[in-house]
Structure 1
Amino acid sequence: MGDQSLFAELGELESPLVRLCIEKATQSGDAVETWRRQRRTLERLPPQLAGSLLHRLHRRRLLYPSLLEVFKYSVERIDLSGENSVDAEWMAYLGAFQYLHSLNISDCHRINSSALWALSGMKYLKEVDISRCSKVDDAGIKHLLSIQTIEVLCISETSVSTAGVTLLSSLKKLSKLDLGGLFITDTALASLQVLKKLRHLDIWGSDISNEGASILVNFPNLTFLNLAWTKVTILPNVSSIACLNMSDCTIQSMFKGEGNKARLSKLLLAGALFKDIANAFLYFDSNSLSFLDLSNSSLHDLSFLSILHALEYLDLSGNLIGDDSVKYIASAGANLKTLNLSNTRVTSAGVAVLVGHVLKLETISLDSTATDDLAISYIGMIPSLKAVSMKRTHVRGVIQQNGGDAECVLSLTALENLKQLEKLNLEETPLKDEAIIPITNLKQLTHLSLRSSFLTDASLHHLSSIPNLINLSIQDAILTNAGIDSFNPPLSLQVLDLSGDWLLTKDALLLFVQRHSDIEVRHAHVTTFQYDNGDTKYHLPLQTSMRTSQQRRFSSSPLKSKMAAIIDQRLKYSRAELLSMQFASMSAAPFGEPPTSPK
């Protein structure tokens, strides 16, 4: 969580003075020691301000167990997820927090059942997340049962057994229960029927059968249900459900039964197998379904989409659909904002079918499809687009006009019609320097990803003129030290990914980093990390901290002067020769001829 979003939580407390105070208070360990003894002042801190101070200390690795004590009367929410140092000692201090409402210690692998004893009897604790704390078992659950205020409990992927799950029936205020990855039987699920306030139930990967699923109708307020990776094939009519996940299930029917139809808004069926997919959509109110994930579901027939008119998000990636299925997508496209057709058989002709039917489309993904530069032309006719991804496609950046002697047209020029385009991904396409020139006219572009062995320093120079660019990735290119040295990045640039640009040397990259310390550079020669000290980023050469003594001895040795005189042997070769050497051992299939534009 960045500083900007962190302080946004302060609401009316946010001010330059507050920012400065927290910055000074967390500047170093010595600064912490200066104020930590002022307990009366700290106890009177507003909860949001105290929470932000605690969070900043954690981010800067200045937080330790005994320091927690000064926050026990002011902090209401604590998130230590993924912190490997958190153990029973930390929990002993956290258990003394008088007004703690929310505690997240998920992925803290030192936490065991005994450590949870410190939480016993807490009066105001409402949310507890111990997901993936594998050392927590039924004994740990017994400690939590004394906290009758718990409303949200997440214990997925712990060592809690079926017997431990049945104990949770005494927590009558539970509204959210995450039991994902636990071995839960139908009997254990039946024991939870007394939890009438339950709204969110996550039991993915459990041993629930169709018989157990029939019990779900006894949860009157259930709005979220995750049954992914279970043996459930028939879901009864739980009419209160708004969000359902049955990914990787074999589905025979959903919501079939008497009573009001469920008004689903979100449905995730990734990797699911269907007995009859058209039948699966008959028994709930499809007029409210806005989110549908059918990725990797081996679908051939999309005719059922014609009844889904409220869709805003549709993921069909990884299915066996082709251009003949796109007409059904178009029929449901009136409100569509996000469409994923990656890894399908859709071609540029299929993209053409969408034009005029998806007037609100903002994001389209065509990764790993047979689309080419003609698809770019059609995409340019969907003016609402903000993000386009065509990774691993046949886009070359040029279209051959009709007639043998006709000049090629730069296909990316069509994207200039997309006045709102912010993100463009053309990785692993055979683009050349001249082909990407039209991209420089995309003034609203903030994220650009390119990966081509045909791009050179000229491309880097072209892209420097994009005024709002925040993240630039130009990988596996033939960039030289001279190119990176002369590169004048846009003022807005925050991340520069040069991974795989094998001609760049460590010295050239570190020189660039020193000049532009506010830019995060990604390359094998540079290790980049962000220390939470304002917006400062530090870049170090790979393995800088290793063998320090040997490096010091080397700096004064005669060998250093000899090595300094060695010239980089790559400079002896032309760019074409370097390319031929790089791919000498690789057998790459030749790309086809540029597509011919339609008459």
Structure 2
Amino acid sequence: MGGACSRKRDPQTVEENAVHGSVSRRYSKSGSSKWLGGASFSRASVDNKDGNPIPPSLMELCIYKISEEISQYGTFSMLPRDISQQIFNELVYSQRLTEAYLEAFQDCALQDINLGEYPGVDDTWMDVISSQGASLLSADLSGSEVTDSGLFHIKDCKNVDALNFNFCDQISDVGLGYINGLSNLTTLSFKRNNNITTKGMSALSGLVNLLKLDLERCPGIHGGLVHLKGLKKLEGLNLNCCNCITDTDMKPLSDLSNLKELQISCSKVTDHGVTFLKGLHKLELLNMECCPITAACLDSLSDLGFLLYLNVSRSKLTDDGCEKFSKMKSLKVLNLGFNDVSGVVLAHLKGLINLESLNLDSCGIRDEGLVHLAGLNNLKCLELSDTQVGNNGLRHLSGLVNIESLNLSFTVITDGGLRYLAKMSSLRSLNLDVRQVTDAGLAALASLTGLIHLDLFCAKITDTGTNHLRNFKKLRSLEICGGGLTDAGVKNIKDLKSLMILNLSQNSHLTDKSLEYISELTELVSLNVSSSRVTSTGLKHLTSLKNLKSLSLESTKVTANDIKKLLISHLPDLMSFRPE
């Protein structure tokens, strides 16, 4: 969401753009942040079935009290392990844990140390972490300043099952050597590490129980996959964005007969490299986005009878050779986006009756090609963004009554074609980021009462059109940014009480009155009213939005200081805001 009309994003960074919580700026783009999810009394209590808050238990009250008075306690080593663990988790969640307070957890036999992206973590913390000894089962230290020296301490935690050192760019081959003896490891992750090389990969050969290995964006590991040949239990291997990986790196993987997930996007693997994968008969997921492959690789893949998920977007596929897709009967998810294929390829997909998700983003698809999708009755998700699909094409989709998600952004459809969507009662997500769609088109969608997400970003919706939004009581996400709304239109939106995400940016006529209406949407988590006429005076209306975590008011008369005052006084959970 945002201010620009064209919102296409590089698929390599989609995951990175996910909004995480109040974490280190340097590492806020990772998917870690486990510490945001731990149980804590300090968060809003869960409501029971009657809608009334459930009071905290006596134990929760005690944990919370101890964490508030942490400076009074020297050690928790005499407490039962589960209680020490809860105190530790609460301190992490509330960000009260410091190096000094960490000392109280020396020899507490903690099982889980989830400090992913926690500020200030470095080698000085590792002595206490390693003191948990044989009790330690998992440690997430992603985004920390831990070095090889710090990793030395963890070699004695013989029972550790999962280690996460994503974005720990001070760890090198030397550090990898220290975990060589941790034979109970089943999960290991070193995303974005420039210092791991082929030599260091040799340390992984002893991790015989490893099930999942993540080396995404590790550019120095070419030739090192040979050391994985003995890891016969390996089920998941992530080598995304390792542009050093070539065909020769695929050969050692041919012996990993238990491999179920392989991700090699943005590598240099070609059709020849894919031939080494044809013996991986348990493979269920294969991601080859941005690889220089052609349809010739389908010869090798068509024998993989368990393949469920295949991503070959942004590769060199053309219509020539795509008839081999017809053999891949097990496929449930297929991403062909950004390839030079046309409706011809769709003729070869019509027999894939198990297909549930199909991505044709930016392919040369026109109306006539969609006739081949008519029999894919299990299809739940269809991506047609940036194609030449128009109203006649939608006519061929009208029988796909199980569709739950449909993206028609940047297509050539108009209001007249939207009547074909009326029977898609299963639709939950609909993207109509199309300039030709107007109020009349919105009226044709009145029967889609189950919609949860509706994107009308660039559609020409006016105040009159917002009257039709009242049909969509279940909406949780709504975007209308075409510039046609005034305060009167927002008045109609205020009755959508389930809304959690609302983007009304670029509607330059909105004033503080709109914020008054929005104040009734108390479930809102994200609000964007950028490029409008709202002022700092209108911020008082947002004090009721206690769940708000993201607020964007760029190009308005609101300053960063105005928002910070609002944060301090009324919205303590606000994590991201613009201007900042």
Show the 5 A alignment for 1:12-91: 19=56, 32-33=68-69, 37=73, 43-44=79-80, 46=82, 50=85, 54-55=88-89, 57-68=91-102, 73=108, 75-91=110-126
Correspondent of 1:511 among 498, 507, 516:
516
1:26–1:501 CA distance, 2 compared to 1 (3 A): farther
Residues 386 and 421 of structure 1 are in contact (CA less than 8 Å); yes or no, is this contact kept in structure 2? Answer: yes
5+ unaligned residues in a row in structure 2: which ranges? Answer: 1-32, 41-45, 566-580
How far residue 491 of structure 1 moved from its aligned partner, in angstroms, is: 2.4
How far residue 250 of structure 1 moved from its aligned partner, in angstroms, is: 1.8
Correspondent of 1:106 among 132, 142, 145:
142
Show the 5 A alignment for 1:560-575: none
1:217–1:261 CA distance, 2 compared to 1 (3 A): closer
Q: Which moved more, 1:65-74 or 1:98-107?
A: 65-74
Correspondent of 1:162 among 178, 198, 205:
198
5+ unaligned residues in a row in structure 1: which ranges? Answer: 232-248, 399-410, 550-599
Q: 1:338 and 1:254 mapped to 2: Cα distance?
A: 23
Q: 1:477 and 1:547 mapped to 2: Cα distance?
A: 24
Q: State the partner residue of 2:575.
A: none
Q: 1:218 and 1:428 mapped to 2: Cα distance?
A: 48
How far residue 468 of structure 1 moved from its aligned partner, in angstroms, is: 1.1
Show the 5 A alignment for 1:212-223: 213-219=250-256, 221-223=258-260
1:66–1:272 CA distance, 2 compared to 1 (3 A): same
| Cα RMSD for the two superposed structures | 4.0
How far residue 428 of structure 1 moved from its aligned partner, in angstroms, is: 3.1
Matched, 1:436 2:442: yes
SS at match of 1:508: helix
Greater fraction of residues in strand: 1
Q: State the partner residue of 2:464.
A: 458
Q: 2:350 and 2:480 mapped to 1: Cα distance?
A: 34
1:61–1:221 CA distance, 2 compared to 1 (3 A): same
Q: 1:489 and 1:461 mapped to 2: Cα distance?
A: 11
Q: State the partner residue of 1:268.
A: 287
How far residue 206 of structure 1 moved from its aligned partner, in angstroms, is: 6.4
1:327–1:91 CA distance, 2 compared to 1 (3 A): same
Q: 2:34 and 2:232 mapped to 1: Cα distance?
A: 38
Residues 427-475 of structure 1, C-alpha deviations (whole Å, 9 max, x = no match) = 1332211220132321111111102362112222321331211111112
SS at match of 2:517: helix
Residues 263 and 286 of structure 2 are in contact (CA less than 8 Å); yes or no, is this contact kept in structure 1? Answer: no
Matched, 1:476 2:476: no
Show the 5 A alignment for 1:538-549: 542-545=558-561
Q: Normalised by the size of structure 1, how large is the TM-score?
A: 0.72
Q: 1:119 and 1:2 mapped to 2: Cα distance?
A: 20
1:260–1:479 CA distance, 2 compared to 1 (3 A): closer
Give the letter aligned to residue 400 of structure 2.
Answer: I
Show the 5 A alignment for 1:29-428: 32-33=68-69, 37=73, 43-44=79-80, 46=82, 50=85, 54-55=88-89, 57-68=91-102, 73=108, 75-98=110-133, 99-108=135-144, 110-145=145-180, 147-158=182-193, 159-180=195-216, 181-186=218-223, 188-203=224-239, 205=242, 207=244, 210-211=247-248, 213-219=250-256, 221-231=258-268, 249-252=269-272, 254-255=274-275, 262-274=281-293, 277-278=295-296, 280-282=298-300, 285-298=303-316, 299-301=318-320, 302-332=322-352, 334-355=353-374, 357-398=375-416, 411-428=417-434
Q: Normalised by the size of structure 2, how large is the TM-score?
A: 0.74
Give the letter aligned to residue 163 of structure 1.
Answer: K
Residues 64-122 of structure 1, C-alpha deviations (whole Å, 9 max, x = no match) = 334445566364223332334322344343233342211122233x2322333442412
Q: 2:379 and 2:181 mapped to 1: Cα distance?
A: 50
Residues 530-558 of structure 1, C-alpha deviations (whole Å, 9 max, x = no match) = xxx99633687643426999xxxxxxxxx
Q: 1:264 and 1:547 mapped to 2: Cα distance?
A: 50
Give the letter aligned to residue 330 of structure 2.
Answer: A
Q: 1:3 and 1:195 mapped to 2: Cα distance?
A: 30
Counting aligned pairs with the same residue, the percent is 22
Q: 1:260 and 1:167 mapped to 2: Cα distance?
A: 26
Q: 1:94 and 1:538 mapped to 2: Cα distance?
A: 32
1:151–1:519 CA distance, 2 compared to 1 (3 A): closer
Give the letter aligned to residue 449 of structure 1.
Answer: D
Correspondent of 1:536 among 543, 547, 561:
547
Q: 1:433 and 1:482 mapped to 2: Cα distance?
A: 15
